[in-house]
């Protein structure tokens, strides 16, 4: 082999090795969706995963950080970007040394408006050393659900406010599941949609709203059992306070609570809060 050919050969070998080393010094970025379909108002839960396979430490967040973690979401088209309404860091502040990995679960709807029905596409991006490391794109749908019941709550001390409750079901993980959607009027405030569990649609679910603010939902979960879910619904809060299985659904909506609109003393409120916020 001539000197010129040998030189060219070693240049090619060095180029291939350099390319291989550069490829190895990458960052693995991925995103996992909890489901492919989310109900309107349901928290859009995802998990971020980042593996630092570079030789440099990576610092996300903080005043002196040159690295960044970005989430990019589009709806209905490649260039229809959805801008975040929440300026807080979506994954907080963290540092990854070479070889370290990072996992983080987050509800995307707390940063992006994902209320409208339709198909969305999301990806995770890490910016480090002037390079973008992107996860593969994942798509999910926001769906309305199939309605099976509804109710309206009026408030004694907020007469301009009306709260709408809608029971819907959706097929997920090889079973029908019941959801409670909650929306205020006026203002169109949408509360987190609540997954009430599996449902057998042969028996329509029962929704009971008391004047004091106790909301009770009873639905058949299996052939022999029902699930009873109780919420406190106040003008500025909605809280799940009880969820249990029962055999006789007729007794589930008979309880009534004392007034929650100011008649209790501060000591009574504190004592009450200690048990109804156990979840």
Closest CA to 122 of 100, 148, 140: 140
Q: Which residues of 67-92 are buried (b: 16+ CB within 10 A; e: fewer)?
A: bebebebbbeeeeeebeeeeeeebbe
Task: Please identify, among 97, 127, 142, the residue that sits at the C-terminal boundary of a domain.
Answer: 142
For residue 178, say if its preceding peptide bond is cis, omega within 30 degrees of 0. no
Per-residue model confidence as pLDDT tens digits over 52-64: 998 889 998 877 7
- Comparison of pLDDT for 209 and 274, the residue scoring more: 209
Cα separation, 272 vs 239, whole angstroms = 13
38 lies in the same domain as 134: yes
- Domain assignment present for 191: yes
96 lies in the same domain as 199: no
Q: What percent of the chain has pLDDT over 70?
A: 79
- Domain assignment present for 14: no
Cα separation, 250 vs 215, whole angstroms = 15
Domain that holds residue 91: 24-142
- Domain assignment present for 11: no
- Comparison of pLDDT for 33 and 131, the residue scoring more: 33
pLDDT for 121 equals 95
Task: Please identify, among 79, 107, 142, the residue that sits at the C-terminal boundary of a domain.
Answer: 142
Query: What is the torsional sign of CA 82, 86, 92, 93?
Result: positive
Instruction: Locate 270 and state its tokens.
Output: 């504190």
With 60 as the cut, is the pLDDT of residue 14 above it?
no
- Domain assignment present for 61: yes
Q: Is the full-model pTM beyond 0.85?
A: no
Phi and psi of 131, rounded to 5°? -110, 150
Length of the chain: 279
99 lies in the same domain as 127: yes
138 lies in the same domain as 156: no
Asked whether 220 and 198 are in contact (CB, 8 A), the reply is no
105 lies in the same domain as 224: no
Contacts 24+ apart (CB under 8 A), 151-154: 151/207, 151/208, 151/209, 151/215, 152/209, 153/209, 153/213, 153/215, 153/233
- Farthest-apart Cα atoms in the chain, separation: 99
213 lies in the same domain as 269: yes
Cα separation, 143 vs 119, whole angstroms = 9
Per-residue model confidence as pLDDT tens digits over 93-141: 888 999 999 999 999 999 999 999 999 999 999 998 888 999 999 999 9
Please give the span between the terminal C-alpha atoms of the chain, in angstroms, as a whole number. Answer: 77
- Domain assignment present for 5: no
- Domain assignment present for 8: no
Radius of gyration of the chain (CA): 26
Task: Please identify, among 108, 142, 176, the residue that sits at the C-terminal boundary of a domain.
Answer: 142
CATH number reported for the structural domain that contains residue 28 in this entry:
2.60.40.2970
Cα separation, 71 vs 135, whole angstroms = 10
Q: How many domains does the chain have?
A: 2
106 lies in the same domain as 82: yes
pLDDT for 261 equals 31
42 lies in the same domain as 135: yes
86 lies in the same domain as 174: no
pLDDT for 17 equals 38
113 lies in the same domain as 160: no
Closest CA to 218 of 191, 168, 253: 253
130 lies in the same domain as 154: no
226 lies in the same domain as 111: no
At residue 279, the 3 state secondary structure works out as coil
pLDDT for 79 equals 67
């Amino acid at each position: 082999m001539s000197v010129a050919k040998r030189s060219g050969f070693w240049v090619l070998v060095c180029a291939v090795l350099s390319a291989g080393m550069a490829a190895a010094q990458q960052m693995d970025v991925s995103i996992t969706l909890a489901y492919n379909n989310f109900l309107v108002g349901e928290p859009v839960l995802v998990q971020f995963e980042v593996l630092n396979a570079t030789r440099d430490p990576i610092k996300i967040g903080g005043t002196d950080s040159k690295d960044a973690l970005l989430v990019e979401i589009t709806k209905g088209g490649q260039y229809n970007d959805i801008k975040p309404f929440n300026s807080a860091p979506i994954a907080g502040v963290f540092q990854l040394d070479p070889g370290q990995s990072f996992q983080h679960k987050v509800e995307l709807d707390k940063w992006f408006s994902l209320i409208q029905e339709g198909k969305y596409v999301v990806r995770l991006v890490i910016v480090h050393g002037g390079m973008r490391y992107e996860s593969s794109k994942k798509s999910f749908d926001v769906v309305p659900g199939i309605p099976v019941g509804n109710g309206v709550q009026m408030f004694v001390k907020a007469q301009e406010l009306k709260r709408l409750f809608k029971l819907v079901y959706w097929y997920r993980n090889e079973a029908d599941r019941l959801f409670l959607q909650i929306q205020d009027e006026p203002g169109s405030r949408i509360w987190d949609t609540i997954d009430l569990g599996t449902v057998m649609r042969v028996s329509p679910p029962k929704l009971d709203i008391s004047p004091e603010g106790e909301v009770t939902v009873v639905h058949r979960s299996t052939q022999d059992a029902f699930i009873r879910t109780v919420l406190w619904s106040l003008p500025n809060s909605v809280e799940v306070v009880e969820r249990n299985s029962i055999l006789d659904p007729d007794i589930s909506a008979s309880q009534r609570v004392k007034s929650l609109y100011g008649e209790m003393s501060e000591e009574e409120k504190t004592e009450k809060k200690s048990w109804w916020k156990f979840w």
